[in-house]
Amino acid sequence: MLEPTTIEAIADELVEAGRTRTPVPLLTARYPGMTVEDSYAVQQLWRRRNEEAGRTLVGRKIGLTSKAMQAATGITEPDYGAIFDDMVLDTGCSVQWDRYTHPRVEVELAFVLKDGLKAPASPSSMS
């Protein structure tokens, strides 16, 4: 597990990389002991930093849902992340090429729900 100061440094590096459109070297190569839990801790802080900077969280995403992509990346389960308002593109819109670093297109499905999701009641609260 990474130290909290390292998690903070990585999150800040990712915020700056997004601002300057600069690629970040592979984190797991730089931090070989980095765990999935560390990655989500970085993501949580990165998300908070972006919200503090004025971005609005509008949804969540799940990635690596296909077994083929999991095998290609060496990851054994789907991952999840944040979707900010400036990441949502309308059908038929123009995309500014220079807004991205090494742009690629990846199809991701999105659902707009009428109401928020609620977790089911735990068995102990049902008695």
Answer whether 33's CB lies under 8 Å from 72's CB.
no
Alpha carbons 112 and 94: distance in angstroms, whole number: 22
The CATH number for 4-112, chosen from 3.90.850.10, 3.50.50.60, 2.40.160.40, 3.40.630.40, is 3.90.850.10
Confidence of residue 124 (pLDDT cuts 50, 70, 90): low
Residues facing residue 83 across a β-bridge = 59
84-99: per-residue pLDDT in tens? 999 888 889 988 888 8
Residue closest to 83 by CA, chosen among 105, 119, 111: 111
Q: Give pLDDT, residue 103.
A: 75
Alpha carbons 55 and 59: distance in angstroms, whole number: 12
Task: Give the start-to-end residue ranges of the domains of the chain.
Answer: 4-112
- Structure-block tokens of residue 124: 């102990």
